[in-house]
Structure formats: C-alpha cells, structure tokens
Structure 1
Amino acid sequence: MTSDATGATAAPGAAGSDVTTEVRLTTHPDDMDTLSPAALRARVLVDDLFVPGELKFVLSHHDRILIGGAMPAGGSLEVTAPQEIKAQHLCDRRELGVVCLAGSGTVTADDDELPMAPESIAYLGQGTRRVTLSGDAVFYLVSAPAHRRHPTVVRTRDEAEAVPVGDAGKAGARTIRKYVHQDGIASCELALGITTLEPGSVWNTMPCHTHDRRTEVYLYFDLPADERVVHLCGRPDNTRSVIVADRQAVINPPWSVHFGAGTAPYKFIWSTAGENLAYDDMDSVATAELR
C-alpha cells in the first residue's frame, strides 16, 4: 500500500481479483482551506474510474462511501470485495447501487439477471453474494454500509420519480430523477439518483446546501469531451473550485457545499451515504452568503 500528502492511499485488490482500490482519508474544513489547487484535486476529485476491462474502486472514510467504475467491454467482470473492507463478498455488510451510464448490459446478482440500459439503476441488498457485470455498458457503482437486507430491484429512467426544479431564467432548470431514497427503492444508508440539466441551463443544486448527516458524491457524465463543469465545494464562506471533466466524480464531505456550473449540457449522478435517507434533509445556504 502507498500513500502521499493528499491523504490518499492505494492498494491492490483482494487476492485473485483484478480490482484496484484507492482510499481517501477524511478532510477537515481547515485543511481544505489551505490546499493548493493540485492538492485539492488529489483529495476530492476522482478522475480515472473507467478503464476498459477493469473494475476500480475509491473508498472514502467520509461515511465509508465506496464508489467504483467497471467496463466489461463486451465480456464480464466479477465484482469482488476490495481487501480494504475485509469481507468475503462486497455486500456481506454493505448494499450496492449500480448505474448504467452508457451502452447496455446485465447485472447478475446471485440468481437475478437484471437488464441494464442507459440511466437504469440496480439496487443490490446486503447479503448478496455473487455480483457480475456484463455487456458493453459503462457501469458506475456506489456502496454504503448496511445493517439489514432489502430486495434486489432494477429501475429504468422512465420508472424513476421525475421532479422538475429550478428556474430557466436563472439558468438552473433541471429534472431530478430519484431512484434509491426514502420513498423509492428501499435501502439502509444509500440514496441515489440522476439530475439532468435542461437546454440552456448550466447551474446545478442552486440554491445550495450542506447536510452534516450525509456524505455526497457527484459523478458528472454525458458532458462533451472538450467541455467542463466548475464544481464548488468547501465551507459556504470559503468555497473552493474544482474543474471536472466527463465521467469524473467529486467527493463532498458532509460539511461542504456541492454545486456547480457547466460550459455545455451535462448530467450528474448524486449519491449519499449516512444516517438519514430523507431527500429533503438539507441545511440551506443563501446564495448571498457564499464567499
């Protein structure tokens, strides 16, 4: 295992598997305030999850949220437990959400075969033993600790609860699709959904908020290769910016704001892990208070 001044560590996966895992340590607000732009990116930005034929994980010590990327590239990949969680199977003490970003494929969870199309999300409950991903899909994985088992479910984009929010006049019109949450697919700690910006809008999650009870990760996707999102994080009175490209993620500590604006249309997957599944459990921050 290796580590550096950013607080990140990396290690090979469990014996006999192709999984690699990077570990991100917790970030204190005072620490984030003093990080250089390069050190901030190393601390919060995940920029290399998706590699053809590979399964990769990043484990954050914030609420023990685990994110991953898998590209079976027409074959299949077994989702093995990273050695950092010390479990025989990934879902021995965890639950797992699998999102199809592009292409098509299948999530096999024990005896269940779940067909996946773009923006389908599969939820796999605690106790699931064998998980395999196959097809030409690009899969994004999110896992949180779990204390009891909930049923395995797959939900398509059209089946998700769609909520229009924002104001086109403020360039923030968007549609939030909720999949795993208090009133949707049942889970223990995991909440998961997709937000799509409407044509002509660029701002996401405005007005912004924090929520001390949950860590939130944003995975930006469907962003043209030459375009970027300016993601804002940090304390409301001392925000920091991170420039984000397509299929890159930002780990936002519970005390941090998390919002941004893009130079072109985009979508993002929001996922939280923590002690409250209520979607509206937020501590609002007035735009005028941001610094």
Structure 2
Amino acid sequence: MTLKTETRHAIDPETARGLDTEGLRRHFHVGGLFTPDEIRLVYTHYDRLILGSAVPVARDLVLDHVRETGTPGFLDRREAAFLNIGDAARITVGGKAHDIGRGEVLYVGMGAGPITFSAPGRFYILSAPAHRSCPTRLIRREQARRVEMGAAETCNQRVILQFLHPDVCESCQLLMGYTQFSPGSIWNTMPPHTHDRRMEAYLYFDLAEEQRVFHFMGQPRQTRHLIMANEEAVISPPWSIHCGAGTAAYTFCWAMAGDNVDFTDMDMVPMEALR
C-alpha cells in the first residue's frame, strides 16, 4: 500500500495541560514520515491542514483520492505545496512536469488534478482547503523572499526564506517557507508568539542522527516541550507558542493556515510572561 493516512483531532488548552509526555506526542508530534515508496498524510482538525511526505524510490507515487477530504480528487477543494528536501526530482501535476531541486517549492492550486512524484525526490507535503484556484508555480530558492534575523551573540542568527507569501506567490490561505540557522545558532522565535487566527506546523530537518531540537509549546503560562529528531514534524495549535532550541544548527519548514495570509499577524509574548 503506497498511501497511509491518519487523523489528528483538535484539543483545547485545558485538555493539553493534563497530558503527559506520551499524550503530548500522540496529539502533536508526527514521526515515521519519509518512508521509501510511500505517501504518508496526517489530516489535522486544526484548520483542516494536511501534512505529510512522499518518497518515490522504486516507482512513481500518485496522490489523487484521499478518503479524508471527502472529494473524488485530493485537490478538488484544496491547494498544496511540496518542498523537496532530497535530490533533484520531478513532480507532474495534471500532465505537466515540474523539475524541482533540493530546497525548492512547488505550489499547486485548487483543481489542478492528480500529482505524481518521481524519484529521487524526498517531498514534504502541505495542503489546506481552498475556495478559489491560484496558478500553479515552481518557486526557486533565489525567488523566495529572504529575511535575515538574529545575531551570533544571541545564538539565533538565521535566514527566513518565504515561498508562499503575498510578495512571492499567490495562494488562497496557505503560507509556507523555511528557516535556516548559521553554525553556532540554535534558538528560534524567542521571545515567542501565538496567532490565534492561524494554526502552524513545523518540520525539522538537516539534523544529524544524534542531534535533537527541543520544541516548546503550550500556553505562555503553561509551557511544555517535545523533543524532535531529524525529519519529524509538530502540529502547533493556534493557542500555543512555538519556539525551539537545538543541540546544533538546523532547518525547519513552517506552514500556516487560517484566517489570513499576513505573516506579521502575531500576538507577541513577553519573556516575563513565560512559565
């Protein structure tokens, strides 16, 4: 079987307060992605975001019908983005081929048709409901909006590459990009923030086997953490902070879905409010 799916239901912050480590991981941590010759999808009840992976090795993989969407075709009422974190490969959408290099993103609009993944790509999948169709577009790394932040002195020197952003690529509601850290920098998004109007999902990658990222979550006065390994994802509810610190520099892909596509729509949390 080349397609495997699971569903994650939304839970409220009061329930999350009482969860132990295994409970937190069961609801918010996503492991087991990037399995050879499989498409794996996690359907979340947070703004109906789907995250997942496709790793074609011995054969092409086709993403078309997914029972959880309730539509004949996956993209009938959805938009999607595909980030290649592997070698250069090809994605074919509605009969049109797109050659996509490592670190590049293919955005696909609603109604575009079946998606075929070809080796040797290692594709991270993101999808959100859409109410209109936007043009399919391949976004090269140099075309992304580049924002440099932080400093070596505070261990958070990083560059944010924004791919699905109003200044780069039109989308219906999906925002997406990734953040890369300079050697010696490990802290991300501190002081933290929430955005009650949008959920978020992270994929951590570019980590060695023995390295980890401590992902902090929860309400500002009820913080919790998840320990993340390479190529593992985390679901971040709208009520939760989302920041992290690694044992070494790393990269993470962030994606948001919800009420707007305003990247700066954040509710900042001062350091003194954290518990």
Q: What is the distance in 1 between the residues matched to 2:36 and 2:204?
A: 19
Structure 1: gaps (5+ residues): 1-16
8 Å CA contact 1:125, 1:151 repeated in 2 = yes
2: CA distance between counterparts of 1:287 and 1:109?
45
| Counterpart Cα distance in 2 of 1:42 and 1:189 | 27
- Judge which range, 120-129 or 102-111, deviates more: 102-111
Matched pairs, number:
275
The correspondence for 1:86, drawn from 70, 75, 85, is 70
Q: Give the Cα–Cα distance (whole angstroms) in 2 for the partners of residues 99 and 174 of structure 1.
A: 19
Equivalences for residues 92-171 of structure 1 within 5 A? 92-171=76-155
Choose from 13, 34, 44 the match for 1:50.
34
2:209 is aligned to 225
Q: Which amino acid aligns with 1:33?
A: R
Q: How far has the Cα of 1:111 moved from its partner? A: 3.1
Q: Deviations over 1:36-94 (max 9, x none)?
A: 10110111000112100000100110100000111001531001232011111111000
Per the alignment, in what secondary structure is the counterpart of residue 16 of structure 2?
A: helix
Letter in 2 for 1:213: R
* Cα distance in 2 between the residues matched to 1:147 and 1:111: 23
CA-based RMSD of the aligned residues comes to 1.0
Match of 1:215 in 2: 199
Give the secondary-structure state (helix, strand or coil) at the position aligned to 1:158: helix
**C-alpha separation between the residues in 1 aligned to 2:81 and 2:176?**
8
Aligned to 1:259: 243
Question: 8 Å contact 1:20–1:82 — kept in the other structure?
Answer: no
Residues of 2 paired with 1:284 and 1:132: CA distance? Answer: 40
Q: Which runs of 5+ in 2 are unaligned?
A: none
Residues in 1 aligned to 2:228 and 2:135: alpha-carbon distance in whole angstroms: 34
TM-score, scaled relative to structure 1: 0.92
Counterpart position of 1:26 = 10
SS at match of 2:242: strand
Q: Aligned pair 1:279/2:263, yes or no?
A: yes
The residue number in structure 2 matching 1:289 is 273
TM-score, normalization: structure 2? 0.98
Farther off after superposition, 186-195 or 17-26: 17-26
Q: Deviations over 1:234-258 (max 9, x none)?
A: 0011100100000000000001000
Deviating above 2 A after TM superposition, structure 1's stretches of 4 or more consecutive aligned residues are none
Q: Secondary structure at the match of 1:257?
A: coil
Query: Does 2:183 align with 1:192?
Result: no
